[in-house]
Amino acid sequence: MGSPTHLISIHLLSVPYSRVIAITRSSSKKLSRRQPAGPGKGSRLGPPPAHACPEAETEIISLLPSATNGRRDRRTWWSIPSRHTPTRTTRTSSTAAAMAAAAFLCARAAAALRPPSRGLSRRLLASRVAAASSSGEGGGGVEFQGKVGFLGLGIMGAPMASNLIKAGCDVTVWNRTKSKCDPLLSLGAKYEPSPAEVASSCDVTFAMLADPQSAAEVACGAGGAAEGLAPGKGYVDVSTVDGATSKLIEERITSTGASFLEAPVSGSKKPAEDGLLIFLTAGDESLYKRVAPLLDVMGKSRFYLGDVGNGAAMKLVVNMVMGSMMVSFSEGLLLSEKVGLDPNTLVEVISQGAISAPMFSLKGPSMVKAAYPTAFPLKHQQKDLRLALALAESVSQSIPTVAAANELYKAAKSLGLADHDFSAVIEALKAKAESSQQQ
């Protein structure tokens, strides 16, 4: 009689949370009845051999970040026999055997949880450039060739440019405050003293600026990028601006014969660092295809939305929803505490329900402690709400919830919280409550 075999299945799902959950259960069902579709040939467990007796299965679900760019449904399956082989005189319960095998694999999972070495990170990023190019979507089957410029090295721009450098791109940078260029120069970037000189020396130039005025000035002003552009070059504005500003920049850029793409991003500091941004692009489609490999280094997904202005509008709608959600979440935290509930428990409850969102889970614990480490500055959130209100006004759409939220962000700015994370809007609600009690 053949020896029983205990099979371990491991899902590797690319999500930004790292934990390992071991679930042990007994089953007499054959694995061939519960095979998931693997990502490719040879990636699924085949039916167990005729002599196998799968009395137990342990499923370890590993929620691990990886080089799969944040996309889900990437799975790897392993079949591993347990070390214990039952005999006529000694039998180990299926649960114990499964747990022993689970412990064996947990060590491997723990190793996977450790951050990759810098060299490995560089190889992974480079492989993503090559993969995007070879897919035929981005560079026509050819890895991006040419020099890349990057203007604006703030909270978002610096990690985005850094990822391009680590991927092996030839990057030239500029920033108003030159000292912010130093970390990028140490990674191998070049420096030019003006946006015009960056654009002149590069094939494609990206710009990540704080607001519409800065975006227009860097692109169109004296010494701006447009002065260094020419036919064959491209300009990609990844700043969050209104549609009118984006169209103004497009007009100036295309007047030089260069191509223009607006590509505002959804995501804050951590996604920028991890290369998990979402690009909302519009404009020259040939430029979109040309820079797709670069967008794939900096982001996990990208959308082409047609004419210039559509990318800006989509970003404003997304940030409008986000800003309103944060206000509602802040109200919930304060109310729960006021009625004697633990706000930390509220965060946990929300994280397990239908309204679960990474934003709540990540920022909630800090908000309870009145700590607001900046990932997305409050002043930028208020700016986006102001622009969203103007967008709504232009099409006669009423958005009263957003209007109310905007007033709270303005109040938070008046409290000196402009440069704090936008979750600091909760302080405006606290101040409002205190003011009401004093009256």
Catalytic sites, residue numbers:
315
Interatomic CA distance for residues 95 and 435, integer angstroms: 60
Nearby residues of 235 by Cβ (< 8 Å), 6 or more positions away: 199, 204, 205, 207, 219, 225, 226, 229, 249, 253, 258, 259, 260, 261
The stretches of 140-242 forming alpha helices (DSSP H) are 157-166, 182-187, 195-201, 212-220
Tokens of 14: 């690319």
Q: What is the largest CA-CA distance in the chain?
A: 88
Interatomic CA distance for residues 243 and 325, integer angstroms: 24
Strand-pairing partners, residue 7, are 57
Interatomic CA distance for residues 404 and 421, integer angstroms: 19
Q: Kindly list the distances between the CA atom of residue 383 and the CA atoms of 86, 371, 417, in Å, as whole numbers in the listed order.
A: 67, 22, 14
Helix (H, G, I), strand (E, B) or coil at 206: strand
Nearby residues of 96 by Cβ (< 8 Å), 6 or more positions away: none
DSSP string, 83-139: S----SS----HHHHHHHHHHHHHHHHHHHHSPPPHHHHHHHHHHHHHHHHHTTSSS
DSSP 155: T
Of 400, 399, 421, 403, the closest CA to residue 412 belongs to 421
